[in-house]
Structure 1
Amino acid sequence: MTIEVGRLVASTIADAASVALEHEPVPADQVVSGAPTTGHLVLDDDGGRVVGVWEMTPGAMHDTEADEVFVVLAGAATVEFQHPVADPIILGPGSVVRLTAGTRTIWTVRQTLRKVYVAP
C-alpha cells in the first residue's frame, strides 16, 4: 500500500482487510461493557471526503455518528439506535450501511469488526 500523507497514490492497492491499525482503549464514558479498543487509519483524504479503515474489538460502546457509508470486511456486531430510535441492525462481512451525523448508537461487537468507510 502506498499512502502519502493521507492520500492513496493513484493506481496502487490498499489491503484494508490486513493493514495494521494502532488501537486505543475506548474512553471510559463511552464503554457499555467489556474493554473494547478501536483503531483506524485514513487511507485517503482529498478535503471533500475521507476514506478509511476502522476496527473495534469485542465489547460495547456508545457513539454519536458522523455522516458515512461503510462496508464491513470482517467480524460480527449489532448496532442499536438510541436517537433517532430505529430497529437494531446486525453487521457481518459484506454489510453496507449509511449513518447520519448526530445519530446516537450503541455498538456491541461479538467478533472484532473491521470496516472501510467513506465520509464527507
Structure 2
Amino acid sequence: MTITFRAAELNSASGIFQQALLGQPSAEPLGGDIITRADVEFTSDDGRIQSGVWESEPGKSRWEFLTRGEIITIVSGAMTVEEDDGDPVHLVAGTSAIFPIGWKGTWTVTETVRKVFVVYNV
C-alpha cells in the first residue's frame, strides 16, 4: 500500500485536522497556550512510527526527545530551533531537520508553521 497526500494543499478548516493545545508528552509551551493541528496519515502496526502533517501557531516551546526522534520538512511558515548549548537554526519552507533521540531544546514558531513529520519511538 502506498499512502500519498499533498501537505501544502490540506485545508486545516476542513475538519481532518485534530486541534489541540501543545502540551506534554510532546512539548511544554513557554509563555502561553499554543494551538496545534495534526493529521496522522500513517501509524505502523507496532505504533513505533507515525507520519503526517502538523501545524503550530506562533509561540515558544521546550522539546525533549528522550524516547523518540523526529524528522520534519517545513511546508510553510517559519520557526527557529535551538538545541541546548547549540546555535539557533532558522527553518523555512523547504527545509528539513532531524531531531534524534536525546535532542533537547526550544522551538520558536514565528509564523504559523506546517510540517510533514515522521516520528519514531524506541
TM-score of the aligned structures, taking structure 2 as reference length: 0.75
> Aligned-pair RMSD on alpha carbons?
2.3
Identity across matched positions, percent: 28
- The whole-number CA distance in structure 2 between the counterparts of 1:69 and 1:31 is 20
Unpaired runs of at least 5, structure 1 = 1-8
Equivalent residue, structure 2, for 1:54: 54
- The whole-number CA distance in structure 2 between the counterparts of 1:22 and 1:45 is 16
* Structure 2 CA distance for partners of 1:26 and 1:49, relative to 1, 3 Å: closer
* Structure 2 CA distance for partners of 1:22 and 1:49, relative to 1, 3 Å: closer
Equivalent residues of 1:23, 1:40 under 8 A apart:
yes
Equivalent residues of 1:77, 1:90 under 8 A apart:
yes
For residues 54-97 of structure 1, give each alpha carbon's deviation from its aligned partner in whole angstroms, at most 9, with x where no partner exists: 11101111111331211100001101112xx3221101000111
Q: Report runs of 4+ in structure 1 exceeding 4 Å deviation.
A: none
- The whole-number CA distance in structure 2 between the counterparts of 1:78 and 1:67 is 18
Q: How many aligned residue pairs are there?
A: 109
